[in-house]
Structures are given as C-alpha cells and as structure tokens.
C-alpha cells in the first residue's frame, strides 16, 4: 500500500481545539471536492494537486527519521489534504508501520471535509477528527458536500469537532439547518 503525498512539514496547528500544538503535517494528494466560489477558494489546492506516491512503510521510516523525536515529545501527527479520507487504507498502513518502527503511536488528527464514511480501522487509529463540512459558499451544491451518514458517524466519534466557513448571514442559517438535519451536538 502507498500514500499519495503532496508535502509534509513540522509546524504549529493553527486552527481548532488543538490550535498552538506542535504538529507534523502530512498533506495528502487529491480531493473529492473543488471549493471555489466568489467568497473563497481552497487554500491548499495548488499543493494537493501535486504529489508523489510513496510506499507506506518507507514513508513511515522517513517520517521517523525526520520527526520521530518531535512526535515522541508530544507533537501531533495531522493528516490533511485535499481529502485524506480518500486514502484511509494507506493511512492505517502508515500508522501500523510507524508503530512497528517506533513502538509508540503519536496523537493522530484527521482534517476532513466529512464526505467519506470512515472505516473501522481508521476510527481505531485516530485520536481527533477535525471536520470542516463545506457550505454552499464553497461553490458546490450541498447534495455534493453534505453527507449525513458520514457527518453523523463523525459526530458520534467521542473526540470530534466541526468547523464551518461563514462568509454571509445565509451561511449561519445553512449551518443551523445542517445541525438540525444531522443531529450535531455541541460538546
């Protein structure tokens, strides 16, 4: 199994409840959405369109060599994209290989648009799901961006957060309707 990787780097988480936490970001190639509208455009599109296919075990070894000490000291490992849930099998294999090499698992965050149902293996491998469903202000119909089954699954995950990009008052109304339709609960 392999991962299609666009880039990886060490930085600080800049959003969500783990904002300020040191992190190793792995940006995976590809996305099932193309967010582009008058209000905003995907901030990582130029990066996730590019990348290379890397064997999961080889990549785990490389990440260990570059960032293993930082991850051992508590830095989070964050899979982002694009849409990382397009590569769930590769992520799980990477994490298994990382554990085999290092004998520990770092804190794993997934940044997702919430359109993909997570496999059981993926759910067992993740510590935090950081979900940012796309509203119609992303330039696509809600029938494409809002998937009730996957959002409900993420909402049931004990450690998940939801973030929405709000550009206008109508977006707030849209979020309220999604909360109602999906049954999202504030925690």
What tens digit of pLDDT does each residue of 78-123 get? 999 889 999 999 999 999 999 999 999 999 999 999 999 999 999 9
Across the strands, what pairs with 4?
53
Mean pLDDT of the chain: 91
Residue closest to 32 by CA, chosen among 145, 111, 128, 166: 145
What is the enclosing helix (H) or strand (E) of 88? Answer: helix 88-102
**Whole-number Å distance between alpha carbons of 38 and 185:** 30
Residue closest to 79 by CA, chosen among 29, 154, 148: 29
For residue 187, with 0-12 CB atoms within 10 Å meaning exposed, 13-18 middle and 19 or more buried, which class applies? exposed
Q: How confident is the model at residue 44 (pLDDT cuts 50, 70, 90)?
A: low
């Amino acid at each position: 199994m392999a991962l299609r990787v666009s880039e990886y780097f060490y930085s600080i988480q800049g959003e969500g409840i783990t904002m300020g936490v040191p992190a190793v970001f792995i940006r995976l190639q590809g996305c099932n959405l193309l967010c582009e509208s008058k209000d905003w455009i995907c901030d990582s599109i130029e990066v996730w369109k590019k990348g290379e296919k890397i064997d999961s075990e080889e990549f785990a070894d490389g990440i260990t060599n570059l960032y293993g000490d930082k991850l051992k000291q508590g830095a989070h490992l964050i899979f982002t994209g694009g849409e990382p849930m397009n590569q769930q099998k590769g992520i799980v294999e990477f994490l298994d290989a990382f554990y085999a090499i290092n004998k520990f698992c770092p804190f794993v965050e997934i940044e997702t648009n919430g359109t993909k149902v997570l496999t059981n293996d993926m759910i067992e491998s993740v510590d935090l799901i950081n979900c940012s469903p796309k509203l119609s202000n992303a330039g696509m119909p809600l029938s494409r961006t809002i998937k009730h089954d996957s959002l409900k699954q993420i909402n049931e995950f004990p450690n998940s957060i939801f973030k929405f990009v709000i550009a206008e008052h109508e977006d707030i109304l849209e979020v309220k309707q999604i909360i109602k339709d999906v049954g999202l609960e504030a925690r």
